[in-house]
Amino acid sequence: MSDSPNPTRIVDAHQHVFWHKKNDAGLVQDLDEHGIEYAWLLTWEIPPSEDCASYHIAFNPTHVRPDGTHAGIPLVDLLTARDNYPDRFVVGYCPHPAMGNPSALLRSAVEIHDVKVCGEWKCQMPIDDPRCLELFRTAGELGLPVTFHLDIPYLADEDGKMKYQSIWYGGTVDNLERTLKACPDTTFIGHAPGFWREISDDADRQTVMYPRGPVTGKGRLYGLFDRYSNLWADLSAGSALYALNRDPENAMEFLATYSDRLLFARDYYGKELHEFLQTLDLSREITEKIYHLNAETLVAR
């Protein structure tokens, strides 16, 4: 264990509610157990055509549709949690870009419900689809950061051939780069396996979604961060933790280089990320930025 300082405050910048068998009271209990002051709550809107039955075990069963598909994590659940615990949650919301008038819905959510984040964007469509770009530009006009989930549509098999993945979100980093370029006034917060695997330059040769082993060189993620100041990232879920933990020395360099644009976040419960960060020799300045200052810079309560 290093002498990495404990943060003075912790903000969880990627969280869900009525999720993985915890209601709002259960989530608040978890926040308390881990010294987290408050969390950003994010929606996940799922149209029937994008239903994935393997996720149903994680969802609130009250949102199952008559056809057996699930609506995901709707805004109403987040508002319920915030009404019950107004000091513990910031509310996010991302309407699905292919349904209705998403820009109008986002504007109304800001005016009516004080939504402060556009997220989570997690859709089975290219992230640079024109309908997505219009929503992202609206978010930028409203001063909302966009938290997005990236899962690639193809993965190399043992023979090096690219195999189609039936469940994917957003596309590749090429789709992401076009989005960053098209929406320079919008802040994007990257998340998920398709994003974090690009920390290493061997991403295209990996046969698993969550690569292990040492980082072999600076992956495309470095170039995106260097070229686009509107790209940020949260450290949530196994995807970020695996990417950092596979090579702690590289993690130190990455966290130090981009400490102004990285956010402590979990997307689940527990203390695994905090315990890993404590093994690194982070300065007090970097620690405070990652654990709360960057989140507070993007979103004021």
pLDDT digits (tens, 9 = 90+) for 41-91: 999 999 999 999 999 999 999 999 999 999 999 999 999 999 999 999 999
N- to C-terminal Cα distance for the chain?
Answer: 34
pLDDT of residue 160: 87
For the entire predicted model, the pTM comes to 0.97
Find residue 12's DSSP bridge partners: 39
Spans in the chain with pLDDT lower than 50: 1
> Given 3.20.20.70, 3.40.228.10, 3.40.50.20, 3.20.20.140, which CATH number is that of 11-298?
3.20.20.140
Q: What is the pLDDT of residues 123-133, one digit of tens each?
A: 999 999 999 99
pLDDT of residue 202: 94
297 Rama sector, left if φ>0, alpha if ψ -120 to 50, beta otherwise = alpha
Contacts of 283 (CB under 8 A, 6+ apart): 5
Going along the chain, which residue ranges are E strands?
Answer: 11-15, 38-41, 44-45, 72-73, 89-91, 118-121, 146-148, 154-156, 162-164, 188-190, 231-234, 262-263
Task: Count the Cβ atoms, other than its own, within 10 Å of residue 143.
Answer: 14
- The residue count of the chain comes to 301
pLDDT of residue 161: 92
pLDDT of residue 4: 79
CA distance 133 to 126: 10
